[in-house]
């Protein structure tokens, strides 16, 4: 019997230095982080029990963790694919050299608009867009570094600018791919299925349905013409359905989470889905025992019965499905 496939996400912190409109992590206050470099190396060692698809380094912003590139180097020595996602604001020329030297496979940078004023308004950092372009330049100049990807959250703020962004990224040979995500309920806010109707978030939600349909269909057409848009056609079409009716489940079949993905947060708690309880803790048990535990089975049963759209389902781990 073969090994179970596994994509591991290590959420190294729950802190960020920006004040993004679509995220409230910055409002979470000081939080204890139990994960250490030594512990994370031990967790990586345990991946030998699985067929490893890759390791994601996330947060917060993982680049705020002083030893994150040491961890990336360790993952590289194990011959696993590694990916980190960042807002890019901390990458100066010296830090770019450290990134390249670490052996990190892929670096995804959040860029919500090619227009500085729009991106900076969304992310709450004046000059943020220009910092990102400088960061990309620093990394590209060092050579043989990670593939650079751009992550863009589709919202009302940038809907008019998405095609301009896609065209600009297509022409930029330093950037490997562009990946779109649909706006979801901001992180670190109480769960609410009707969040998009609340006054606090109305500015985020694109209410012009005809414009949503037009823009995403244009992105689909660009992908068909060879644009380096990393989303599948099915995912882009699911975005249209989601924005037209956010309460309608985006999949025809059951949710695909819980099958090949596991996340460890900064406290060592392990999750298959954040809508449900932790299935264990890496300070108390091994990854393989947690993966095959009764708690994991019970959560998988809940996931199979779930019909709620969420960030993991729509954006992070969307899969094609048979119809």
Q: What is the pLDDT of residues 134-187, one digit of tens each?
A: 999 999 998 889 999 999 999 999 999 999 999 999 999 999 999 999 999 888
In the chain, % of residues over pLDDT 70: 94
pLDDT tens digits, one per residue of 35-68: 999 999 999 999 999 999 999 999 999 999 999 9
Average pLDDT of 278-307? 95
3-class secondary structure, 180: strand
pLDDT bin (cut points 50, 70, 90) of residue 98 is very high
Q: Per-residue pLDDT for 193 more than 70?
A: yes
3-state SS class at 177: strand
Two tokens at 183? 């706006």
Higher pLDDT, 243 or 32: 243
**Rounded Cα gap, residues 10 and 222, in angstroms:** 33
CB 231 within 8 A of CB 150: no
Q: Is the pLDDT of residue 322 over 70?
A: no
Q: Which long-range contacts (CB under 8 A, 24 or more apart) does 241-248 make?
A: 242/182, 242/309, 242/314, 243/154, 243/182, 243/206, 243/209, 243/212, 243/216, 244/209, 244/212, 244/213, 246/196, 246/309, 247/193, 247/194, 247/309
Confidence band, pLDDT 50/70/90 cuts, at residue 274: confident
In the 8-state DSSP scheme, what is residue 225?
T
Q: How confident is the model at residue 253 (pLDDT cuts 50, 70, 90)?
A: low
What pLDDT sits at residue 30? 61
Above 60 in pLDDT, residue 323? no
Residue 240 has pLDDT above 50, yes or no: yes
Please determine, for residue 23, whether its predicted confidence score (pLDDT) is greater than 80. Answer: yes
d(CA 171, CA 153): 20
Q: Which residues pair with 11 in a beta bridge?
A: 58
- The C-alpha R_g of the chain, in whole angstroms, comes to 19
> In whole angstroms, what is the distance from residue 213 CA to residue 219 CA?
10
Nearest of 21, 41, 111 to residue 264 by alpha carbon: 41
């Amino acid at each position: 019997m073969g090994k179970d496939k596994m994509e591991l996400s290590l959420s190294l912190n729950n802190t960020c230095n920006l004040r993004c409109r679509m995220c409230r992590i910055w409002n979470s206050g000081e939080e204890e982080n139990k994960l250490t470099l030594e512990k994370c190396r031990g967790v990586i060692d345990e991946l030998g029990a699985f067929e490893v698809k890759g390791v994601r380094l996330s947060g917060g912003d993982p680049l705020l963790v002083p030893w994150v590139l040491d961890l990336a180097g360790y993952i590289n020595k194990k011959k696993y694919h590694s990916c980190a996602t960042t807002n890019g604001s901390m990458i100066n020329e010296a830090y770019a050299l450290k990134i390249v030297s670490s052996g990190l496979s892929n670096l995804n940078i959040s860029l919500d608009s090619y227009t500085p004023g729009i991106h900076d308004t969304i992310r709450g950092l004046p000059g943020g867009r220009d910092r990102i372009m400088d960061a990309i330049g620093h990394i590209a100049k060092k050579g043989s570094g990670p593939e650079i990807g751009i992550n863009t959250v589709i919202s009302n703020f940038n809907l008019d600018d998405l095609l301009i962004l896609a065209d600009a990224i297509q022409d930029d040979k330093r950037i490997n791919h562009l990946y779109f995500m649909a706006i979801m309920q901001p992180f670190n806010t109480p769960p609410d299925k009707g969040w998009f109707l609340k006054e606090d978030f109305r500015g985020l939600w694109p209410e012009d349905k005809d414009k949503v349909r037009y823009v995403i269909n244009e992105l689909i057409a660009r992908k068909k013409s060879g644009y380096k848009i990393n989303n599948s056609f099915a995912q882009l079409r699911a975005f249209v359905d989601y924005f037209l009716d956010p309460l309608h489940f985006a999949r025809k079949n059951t949710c695909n989470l819980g099958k090949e993905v596991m996340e460890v947060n900064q406290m060592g708690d392990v999750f298959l889905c954040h809508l449900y309880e932790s299935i264990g803790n890496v300070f108390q048990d091994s990854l393989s025992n947690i993966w095959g535990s009764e708690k994991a089975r019970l959560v998988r049963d809940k996931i199979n019965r779930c019909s709620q759209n969420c960030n993991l389902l729509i954006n992070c781990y969307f899969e094609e499905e048979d119809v």
